[in-house]
Amino acid sequence: MNFEGTPPKNLILIGFMGSGKSTVGRELHSRLGYELVDMDSVIEHREGRPITRIFEENGEEHFRNLETELLRELMADGHRKIISTGGGVIGREENRELLRKLGYVVWLQAPVDVIYERTSRNRERPLLQTENPVEKITTLLEKRKPWYEETAHLKVDTAGLDGGELAMGILESARYFFSNP
Residues making contact with ligand S3P (CB under 6 A): 17, 21, 40, 51, 86-88, 125-127
For residues 51 and 174, which CB has a smaller minimum distance to ligand S3P in the complex? 51
What is the rounded distance in angstroms from the CA atom of residue 142 to the CA atom of residue 153? 19
For residues 54 and 177, which CB has a smaller minimum distance to ligand S3P in the complex? 54
Residue 76 burial (10 A CB sphere; 0-12, 13-18, 19+): exposed
For residues 129 and 181, which CB has a smaller minimum distance to ligand S3P in the complex? 129
What is the rounded distance in angstroms from the CA atom of residue 137 to the CA atom of residue 135? 5
- At CA 35, angle to CA 50 and CA 3, rounded to 5? 100
For residues 123 and 175, which CB has a smaller minimum distance to ligand S3P in the complex? 123
Q: In the bound complex, what is the minimum distance in angstroms from residue 165's beta carbon to ligand S3P?
A: 20
Q: In the bound complex, what is the minimum distance in angstroms from residue 108's beta carbon to ligand S3P?
A: 10
For residues 7 and 87, which CB has a smaller minimum distance to ligand S3P in the complex? 87
Beta partners for residue 105, in sequence order: 12
Q: In the bound complex, what is the minimum distance in angstroms from residue 90's beta carbon to ligand S3P?
A: 9
Q: In the bound complex, what is the minimum distance in angstroms from residue 155's beta carbon to ligand S3P?
A: 17
Q: In what order do the strands lie in the sheet with 104-109?
A: 35-38, 81-84, 11-14, 104-109, 154-157
Q: In the bound complex, what is the minimum distance in angstroms from residue 127's beta carbon to ligand S3P?
A: 5
What is the rounded distance in angstroms from the CA atom of residue 108 to the CA atom of residue 154? 9
